[in-house]
Every structure is written in C-alpha cells, then in structure tokens.
Amino acid sequence: MLALLVALTCAPASAEGPHQGPVFPAGSRVGLVPPDGFAVNAAIHGFDDKANDAAFLIFEMPGPAFSQIEQSMTAAALKKQGMALEKREELPLADGKAVLVSGPQEAEHVKVRKWILIAALGQLTALVTVQVPETAKDLYPDKVIRAALSTLTSRATVPVEELLSLLPYRLSDLSGFRVVNVIGTSLALTDGTQDTLDAAKQPLVFVTVGAGGPESPSSRQNFSRNAVFEIPGFTDVKMVNSEMLRLNGQQIYEILIDAKDVKSGSDLKAVQWIRFGASAYIKIVAIAPKDDWSQAFPRFRAVRDGIGPK
C-alpha cells in the first residue's frame, strides 16, 4: 500500500484554449489568466506550453518578502544569472502592485526571453518567472506575456478538498480536525481557531511520508524510538509506552510520550505512529495539552485509521 502512497503523479494538464478567468494551479493562492496555448502543470506549480518549451513558474512567499526581492532585482544581480536587463517597469494589478523586469538570457547555449515579476498581493508576495525560447518569440511576444502577468491575482484561501487532493494518500476521516497546511506530502491538522501550530494551546496532527526506512522489526523499533526524540518543540521527553500494533494487516509502531512544551513549559502528551512499507513509511505525530488528551486521543486514532491509498 505504501508504494501507492508515495507514487506522486502530476495532475493532468487542462485543455489548451481560451481562459475565461484566472486559473489557479492546484493548492496555490496565486493565479492568472495564461496565454492561449498554456496549460496548468502541477509538476512545476505553474503553466507551460510543452510543445514550445515555454513556462510560467509561480512562487508564493510572505508579504514582507516583496521589498527585499524587489530591491535585489538589479542589473548586476540578474547578470550573474545570465540575464541581461533590458526593461524594468511597474505593472498595475487589480489587487496589488508589481515590478516587472525582462530581457534575454542564455543558458547552456539556449537563448530565451525571460520575464520576472515580483508582486505584493495583500499579505502575500508572489514571484512569477516566465521563459520563452527564441524559437517561440513570435508566438508569445512581450505584449502577450505582459497581458497575462497583468491578470495576476490571489484568493483568500485554498479549498480544503483541493489541498487534500495534492496528497499521495487518502484521508477518509478528519475527526473534526481542520487542515492548516499541506506541504509536499506532509499534512498539518488542528482543532483550534489559530493557524499557528502551538501544541500548548490546541491539539495538532502531523502526517508525513518518508522514503526508505529499515526492514527488520528490531531496526524499525529503534528507528521509531529515535524519531520520537527528533520531534521539534519538545523538552523533558519521556516514553510512556511502546508497542507494535496491526492495522489492516500492516504493522504500526506506536509510542506514547509525555513532554513539556519548549516555549511555555506546559505539559503535553503525544503519540507517534509509524507504518512501514517496502520502500517508504508514513509517520503520524499527534500532540495535545495534557488536560485535553483523553478527549483528543480517540480522535487521533480515527485520523490514523482513515489514512489509506488513493
């Protein structure tokens, strides 16, 4: 089953053709109206025209990153990347401001036209790079790229279903927890009102997928015990119980611990489950304040039992 869980597949590209409004790559808060001929490519978190080797790459960062990156987009800095700065301009956006630089670049004897846009979109900073080979410059001239970049926008949130669709595994029971974030194959859940991952204030669940892992039972047990002491944010860690369980015919190594929050000194309780497969493993770490543990633990198990292959 774990082989299925770590078999990450790229989402199919959308059909090429006219776009009626902004398109958001899966899981992204930033989107735009790409030029005709471009389609979503989840693997690059952006859009591309595979036939002509042209692409839009989108990166999301915190709001304060805007000024730092904008100031670093100098001719000298771009030259170090092999790009000659021809034009620098402010580009008006409907819900923010942006600075656009453009010019030719040559890498590995391939000549391209490149655009780099840094945009402040409320509490979010977006960095968009566009690359078009010289052979496709007539298909995608500067005015077409600028028109597409001028549609850059953001959305307040990403739908939970969309975030979960990015994971290589299925969650059939969130047990009342809500998604805080999805990064790669990792998932964070909470039961509190805050998006800050503070275990001293609210229960948390973290799910990650790791490649490899030991094969023998004794090595897996040692691996699990060592992993407990690598959980960040804990001090005075004490193992309360360690045992091997079976779930749907698979071995799961469970370790219960008591610890203190490194920042506040509050008493915490946590459980770590690791399910090993032939070439990968799933690790679940669930944490709650000591006083909330009796109510949180059955719900943690429900989340664990609901994880399966897509």
pLDDT value at position 9? 31
Residue type, 149: L
pLDDT on residue 110? 87
Residue-range domains of the chain with CATH: 12-154 (3.40.1000.10), 160-309 (3.40.1000.10)
> Mean pLDDT for each 10-residue chunk of the chain (310 residues)?
35 46 92 96 91 96 93 94 95 94 90 97 95 96 97 92 89 92 89 80 94 90 93 93 89 95 94 92 96 96 93
pLDDT value for 49: 97
Choose among 108, 45, 43: nearest CA to 82: 108
Distances (CA, A) of 6 to 211, 239, 248, 275: 8, 29, 18, 13
